[in-house]
Amino acid sequence: MVSELDLQYPPEQCPFCNIARAYQEPGSKPKNAKAKSALWNPPSQRRLSGEVDGKEEVSLESCVPQDHGENGVDPERTSPASFVVLASKDGVAFLDILPMVGGHLLVATRQHRVKVADMKSEEAREMGFWLPILSRVVARVTGVDDYNIVQNNGARAAQVVPHVHFHIIPRPGTMPEIKSKSWAMFGRGQREELDDEHGAKLAAEMRRVLREEIEKMQRKPKL
């Protein structure tokens, strides 16, 4: 068993920032190259592909990392390994490597923000846009319709990694009830490490379902 208290991250080596750097925002060139300009409009105004004012617009599909190819998913890009589901302009989503239960997903800001109060408005909007979609993804992949969304701010609130992130945690019928005194388990409980092979397969399935959810959104008639 591994405790998250055993994982010490110097500020300059934030693990969530490492993941964000490894999986750059859509419209960017590969790592260590100069990023090109890309627009990110509010979802209600977004055209899903094409150009706006001469600049390439980012599509929702491009926020889902590819399974293969030069810029495809590779858990070994980071240490420890990461299993990424989403890499958007202002956010990343990846499996918790010390999951409370199968399908435990983290949704974090791309930029290093310690607490919710530190987030910029556009970052908050993007978190709000993706959380419902990713919640549906987690529910579909795990087959569990009930879930917790948890967000901790500060050490006394059980925040271990000082970088804004939301937990999406499925609640299967076999999972014990969480009492008010047990909030620390979201940050510090004794939890088993995620198996690399299982993590890669689970993340791949989540990416597949996420693409389906995006396609459903595109098919919905506009008012």
* DSSP per-residue letters across 161-188: SSS-EEEEEE--TTSPPPPGGGTTHHHH
Residue in 104, 163, 165, 167 annotated catalytic: 165
DSSP string, 42-93: -GGG--SSSEETTEEEPPSGGGS--SSSTTS--GGGSSS---EEEE-SSEEE
Domains of the chain with CATH codes? 76-219 (3.30.428.10)
Whose tokens are 């990110």? That residue is 40
Kindly give the confidence (pLDDT) of every residue in the chain, 223 residues in length, as a single tens digit, with 9 standing for 90 and above.
Answer: 444 444 445 556 899 999 999 999 887 654 533 333 233 444 444 434 334 344 456 789 999 999 987 778 999 999 899 999 999 999 999 999 999 999 999 999 999 999 999 999 999 999 999 999 999 999 999 999 999 999 999 999 999 999 999 999 999 987 655 544 444 455 444 567 899 999 999 999 999 999 999 999 988 776 5
Beta bridge partners of 84: 94
Give CA–CA dist 186/109, Å, rounded.
Answer: 18
Residue 146 half-sphere exposure, CB side, CA atoms within 13 Å? 6
68 is catalytic: no
Note the pTM of the prediction, 2 decimals.
Answer: 0.80
Distance CA 170, CA 148 (A): 6
Per-residue confidence (pLDDT) for residue 175, from 0 to 100: 65
